Chains A and B, each alone.
Chain A
Amino acid sequence: MSAHADTHAHDDDHVHHHKETFVTKYIFSQDHKMIAKQYLITGTIMGIIGVMMSLMMRMQIAWPEEPNALFEALLGKWAPGGVMDADIYLALVTIHGTIMVFFVLTAGLSGTFSNLLIPLQIGARDMASGFLNMVSYWLFFLSSVIMVLSFFVEAGPAAAGWTIYPPLSALPMAQGGSGAGMTLWLVSMAIFIASSLLGSLNYIVTVINLRTKGMSMTRLPLTIWAFFVTAIIGVISFPVLLSAALLLIMDRSFGTSFFLSDIFIQGEVLHYQGGSPVLFEHLFWFLGHPEVYIVLLPALGITSEIIATNSRKPIFGYRAMVASILAIAFLSTIVWGHHMFISGMNPFLGSVFTFTTLLIAIPSAVKAFNYITTLWKGNLQLNPAMLFSIGLVSTFITGGLTGIILGDSALDINVHDTYFVVAHFHLVMGISALYGMFAGIYHWFPKMFGRMLNKNLGYIHFWVTAICAYGVFFPMHFIGMAGLPRRYYTNSNFPLFDDTHDANVIISMFAIVGGIFQLVFIYNFAHSIFYGKKTVQNPWRSNTLEWTAPIKHLHGNWEGEIPHVHRWAYDYSKPGHDDDFVPQHIPLKEGEEELQH
């Protein structure tokens, strides 16, 4: 690997006399910082699409009978006269889930910040392979385009839920969306997985091999630990989803029976024999559950960094934080069955998965308590990034606690697939990860664009979002506990649930307000890229290496030598220093001891 380091050292001189063209700089760039921006912008656009879909669903749930001009404008033939079609409602459910989980919170979050921060924070000139990194982004872009295009096929996009359980997803006669729409979904996801694997391999190799002198694993910022472990989980679990998708393609197009058996539909018996949909559920959730942590861990890593920096205090319990990331990663691969307690799987397996699932609460609790203790006796700089990080801890606790109910197989019987589940996972992974992403954007925007975001708009963005997020998802638990199933186009066929309707209207109002206020962020983001106030080199007075790099982006990150590392990333307010921060590249003073961790 020393060979690698050498070539990078050489790169450095030849960057200066090598003129970049527009195409190599902005489009087919191999520079990790540009790729990070590409991921961020693509992810944000996908996020806007995903949020729009959720708002349409909420309007449909709250006002199911009223013709809505917005539906007609956005959905066209799927909402004749402004009345939404039942199939397209399920398509919105499906594509909203897919886009938010994979395209926004996996690629948009991990892709952006792993790319931006791994080389900068470990002290490397770039990723181990800039070329693979570029390919990874463009595959992601291609899969995004295919996913969006699936809305324009004749019979509509995939509509079997983001979990695409067969036989519903396998049989075009079962549902309009299971025709060409589902084919595009599968193709898009296969490409997405390829992109994700290339990215993850790159992150792993870079973290292992390209750390600067002195950057031992125990001196890594927690962001890097989180990205590193996330990449490992991705490499372990994404291929399993790829295999499930390929087998499903076989069943759909080549007549095999991996997941199908004994089916009679629309007056005819199909030839499938001997397969099992439960097998698909196993394969899907073997990715599907770790995916939750692929989404969440980077957000927690970002939060750890931001909370420490803005508390002007070391992160409390660094070792415990690393250990809990590792524990969560390990446990995340052996809990997938808790999505399948009532799938017809052997009840004994249900017991095993209950046990492993509830164990995850332990490292999660450690993380939450450590965040709170980090705040204690700090000197909190309540920047927008810090607000979003504190918000993350809040929703992570609220959403995580109800996991105790859902992870318990006995209790799951009654709340499975109700709005209780929707509330739980949106808070604990959706909102928390989104907050992590926002926190990251507010914190590293100056690093990415050399300018600052407007903080006042940031405060408005945070407070309205925080109130709306609770306004949407907190009452939703109670609707779920009243037994209301999710994924119903309208609840008007069940007088039993009429008394939950008012709550649904209130939830939708919060959702609409919250959704609209994201425009404040979009405006702030787009405007500040060009017109934001110029930043200084280290605006947050942070310890990590990325702030030692010049504001103007260089291919190779540092002019001259890469800084060496002499201490961990969390020497904030260390006694014996005048400043309340001591960056990692500052050598220990005479007689100063490095903290044992």
Chain B
Amino acid sequence: MTAFLTIIILLFIAVAIWQMVKIFDLAQVSSTTIPGVATDKDNTFNGYMMIGFLIFIYAITIASFWYLGDLPLMSNAASEHGPGLDNLMIISMVIIFIVQTITQFLLHYFAFKYKGEKGKKALFYADNNTLEAIWTIIPVIVLAGLIIYGLFTWSSIMNVDESDDPMIVELYAQQFNWKARYAGEDNVLGLSNVRLIDNDRANILGLDESDPNAQDDIITTELHLVVGRPVLFKMRSQDVLHSAYMPHFRAQMNCVPGMITQFGFTPTITTAEMRQNPDIIEKVANINKIRVENSEAIEERGQEVRYEFDYLLLCNKICGKSHYNMQMKIIVETQEEYDAWIKEQKTFKNSLIN
């Protein structure tokens, strides 16, 4: 309703402005100028507006940094490759902001400085090879640096070193939830295909029941990872495209029906440690303040008002009606905690209904 009222009010404002312009037009009787073409007065007005607009651009930049610039997801990376990637991001951002600040200044300042006047003549200046060479070569050098840095980072993230003995975990996506499958003591995932799914027997991921490797596999609805231990995700989807997005770990990969994709990383900070991080404490406190203010609506939804930090896995590829609520909690813990947890989970062999 508020939105609707706002629109009505804005509509009235628009009508008012239109009326004012009408009056302005009627008052402006001039026979010397062509109607619709800017006069010196227009040029002066718009020239000053250009400077105003430049200030607006800078102001909105500063405001965005002020209110939204803490970006906890761009700092405090919780994976081994994360800080390197954040570093590249920061370097790129610094370059972008330098270029942005200078070029926007030149553009708007020139638009103000050289605003038209009757009788003035512009400089006939059509070409300058030196200048053009300079602004071709500078981007070439900067980009070459960024490309090289980027490619090294990319290949170090994407090339999984199997000799580290990573823990193998399958991420399994379906409309609209996630499952994780641990490879068990042998650390080898059993063979699987969606054609083997048998819901009556609780073979929900389509594992090959005759494959010995599959017997000790463990299917869970929460993702537990061991701090400091490399993990290699093998990803599957049973129906449509999904994307496994783990922003805190700077990790993302699509899940594609009919093929297995992979992504590996090493978590470096446990959930408990992350909750003690001052940045995260501040962020959580801020969120809780907002949530308390809106507690009625939140309780109506059946959610808990108090928020506690957890790592998350989100679906980040449009996948249908409930795409906006396809998530799984990730818990990073010590080896002992993990061992205790995994022991409580049922192996595939024992979870089948015969």
Q: Mark B126-147, 1 if CB is under 8 A from A, else 0.
A: 1110011001100110010011
Interface residue A28 (Cβ < 8 Å from any Cβ of B): no
Contact B320 A452 (CB under 8 A): no
Residue of A nearest to B311 (CB): A496
**Which of A70, A316, A496 is the one whose CB lies under 8 Å from B7?**
A70
Interface residue A517 (Cβ < 8 Å from any Cβ of B): yes
Residues of B within 8 A of A87 (CB): 321
Stretch at the interface among A103-111, A181-189, A274-282: A274-282
Stretch at the interface among B93-101, B161-169, B183-191, B207-215: B93-101
Q: Mark B1-40, 1 if CB is under 8 A from A, else 0.
A: 1111011001100100110010011000000001111100
- A448 → B minimal CB distance (Å): 13
Contact B96 A405 (CB under 8 A): yes
Contact B1 A375 (CB under 8 A): no
B-side binding surface: helix, strand, loop or mixed?
helix
Interface residue A262 (Cβ < 8 Å from any Cβ of B): yes
Residues of A within 8 A of B117 (CB): 379
Stretch at the interface among A29-37, A231-239, A354-362: A354-362
Contact A483 B73 (CB under 8 A): yes
Stretch at the interface among B194-202, B222-230, B332-340: B194-202
Interface residues of A in 511-555 (CB under 8 A from B): 512-513, 516-517, 519-520, 523, 532-536, 539-540
Residues of A within 8 A of B115 (CB): 380, 382
Residues of A within 8 A of B38 (CB): 381-383, 386, 455
Contact A314 B258 (CB under 8 A): no
Contact B53 A466 (CB under 8 A): yes
Q: When chains A and B are docked, how far (Å) is the Cα of A90 from the Cα of B321?
A: 8
Residue of B nearest to A173 (CB): B239
Residues of A within 8 A of B251 (CB): 413
Residue of B nearest to A519 (CB): B14
Residues of B within 8 A of A405 (CB): 89, 92-93, 96
Contact status of A495 and B283, CB under 8 A, knowing A397-B100, A410-B153, A533-B35: no
Contact B240 A168 (CB under 8 A): yes
Stretch at the interface among B242-250, B266-274, B342-350: B242-250
Residue of A nearest to B138 (CB): A365
Residue of A nearest to B305 (CB): A495
Interface residue B257 (Cβ < 8 Å from any Cβ of A): yes
- B163 → A minimal CB distance (Å): 18
Interface residues of B in 57-111 (CB under 8 A from A): 57, 60-61, 63-65, 67-69, 71-74, 85, 88-89, 92-93, 95-96, 99-100, 103-104, 106-108, 110-111
Q: When chains A and B are docked, how far (Å) is the Cα of A532 from the Cα of B194?
A: 66
Contact B60 A475 (CB under 8 A): yes
Contact A481 B74 (CB under 8 A): yes
Residue of B nearest to A56 (CB): B3
Q: When chains A and B are docked, how far (Å) is the Cα of A379 from the Cα of B38?
A: 12
Q: When chains A and B are docked, how far (Å) is the Cα of A277 from the Cα of B35?
A: 56
Contact B290 A499 (CB under 8 A): yes
Contact B64 A475 (CB under 8 A): yes
Beyond the given A86-B322, A481-B73, A499-B287, please list 10 additional residue pairs across the A-B interface where CB-CB is below 8 A.
A86-B324, A165-B240, A350-B158, A359-B143, A362-B140, A386-B38, A394-B104, A452-B36, A477-B64, A485-B315
A and B contact pairs by CB, cutoff 8 A, 27 listed: A63-B3, A93-B318, A167-B239, A168-B240, A174-B175, A174-B240, A276-B256, A312-B116, A316-B128, A320-B132, A342-B243, A344-B253, A350-B158, A368-B103, A378-B114, A378-B116, A379-B117, A405-B93, A417-B243, A478-B64, A481-B73, A482-B68, A485-B315, A494-B327, A509-B6, A597-B126, A597-B127
The 6 closest A-B CB pairs, nearest first, are A261-B258, A452-B36, A478-B68, A533-B35, A347-B158, A382-B46
